[in-house]
Amino acid sequence: MSATIIDGKEVAAQVRAEVAEKVSALKAKGITPCLAVILVGENPASVSYVTGKQKALAEVGMADRSVHLPETTTEEELLHLIGELNADSSVHGILVQLPLPKHIDEEKVLLAIDPSKDVDGFHPVNVGNLVIGKKAYLPCTPHGIIVLLEKAGIQTSGKHAVVIGRSNIVGKPVSLLLARKETNCTVTLCHTGTKNIEEITRQADILVAAAGRPHTVTKDMVKPGAVVIDVGVNRIPDSTKKSGFRLIGDCDFEDLKDVAGFITPVPGGVGPMTIAMLMFNTLEAAENARK
């Protein structure tokens, strides 16, 4: 029996189509949702991510106020720009692409964004609201994982979900989302300090791998029929590719596809959902501003 592939590209396209429809309705009322993506420097991965976000903005009909600043931009200059965007009522969402150059304090920059425009869901106000179950902009990748489970028709209530990885970007927030009443999982969070991790992962009905290391999850760690969500994006050398590398996840896909019931591929699984949920959050920010 081979696992059912959860197609993130297809689900992300559905989300973007739904967002585009609502954007069109808002535009008819004289409001164009607008996102400002700030990129500092020339980090190749960051440039690629920002290009993907700009393409998605054009596709859903949103205004793009992206700003590309040189590597030499000072922290003060960046904070001044964020202040201007905070005060601009035509800008509904602000996203600062990480990582930033070493001379800029990332925490200070994220704190400077108005929480009502923090469509990445990283501001402590939004994180706090997520923790206590209040309305908040949800971090895009964790929210995308929940939507993937929903769209794949996977029953989550009462299931045991195991998350590998405790990052602020994926591991911790996805654990919180899985434990919410709407999703209703019992959640175990594993990390580098977890002993006998295989014993825990083998109990998982839903396994989320966000360790940031290739082939962290192998066949012997997965219960037959489990749902495996692979968040990892790891570059490994591959001379057959034009780029000289290929992308693989945190799971050994070939090893797992005959054991898991459902599995997300890399690329084409969780990745496309991140940008789709960013569009969703920006739309929500525009709707909130209108109210």
Q: Is 120 a catalytic residue?
A: yes
Binding site annotation covers 157?
Answer: no
Does any domain span residue 239?
A: yes
Could you report the per-residue pLDDT of 93-124, keeping only the tens digit for each? Answer: 999 999 999 999 999 999 999 999 999 999 99
Select which of 97, 117, 172, 250 is catalytic: 97
pLDDT digits 0-9 by tens, 162-192: 999 999 999 999 999 999 999 999 999 999 9
In a domain, 289, yes or no: no
9, 14, 29, 53: the catalytic one is: 53
Give a yes or no: residue 211 inside a domain.
Answer: yes
261 lies in a domain?
A: yes
Question: End-to-end CA distance of the chain, in Å?
Answer: 50
Residue 27 has pLDDT above 90, yes or no: yes
Residues ≥6 apart with Cβ < 8 Å to 28? none
Residue 166 annotated as binding?
yes
| Prior bond of 267 cis (ω within 30°) | yes
Spell out the residues 6+ positions from residue 81 whose beta carbon is closer than 8 angstroms to its own: 38, 67, 69
| Residues 149 and 251 placed together within one structural domain of the fold | yes
pLDDT tens per residue across span 155-167? 999 999 999 999 9
User: Does 213 carry a binding-site annotation?
Assistant: no
In a shared domain, residues 204 and 245: yes
**Quick one: tokens of 211?**
């360790």
Choosing from 114, 149, 177, the residue where a domain stops is 114
Angle 160-161-165 from CA coordinates, rounded to 5°: 145
As given in the structure block, the two tokens for residue 69 are 């600043």
Q: Token pair 């939004």 is at which residue?
A: 126
Q: Domain span at residue 58?
A: 30-114
The structural domain count of the chain equals 2
- Same structural domain for residues 258 and 147? yes
16 known ligand binder: no
The CATH number assigned to the domain holding 103 equals 3.40.50.10860
**Can 118 be counted among the known catalytic residues?**
no
From the candidates 118, 120, 250, 252, which is the catalytic residue? 120
Question: Does residue 159 lie in a domain region?
Answer: yes
- CATH of residue 204's domain is 3.40.50.720
pTM beyond 0.85: the answer is yes
Residues 57 and 157 in one domain: no
Looking at the structure, do residues 88 and 209 belong to the same domain, yes or no?
A: no
pLDDT in tens, 207-256: 999 999 999 999 999 999 999 999 998 888 888 888 888 889 999 999 99
Residue 241 is a catalytic residue: no
Q: Same domain, yes or no, for 163 and 252? A: yes
Contacting residues for 269 by C-beta, under 8 A, at least 6 apart = 6, 7, 8, 148, 229, 230, 249
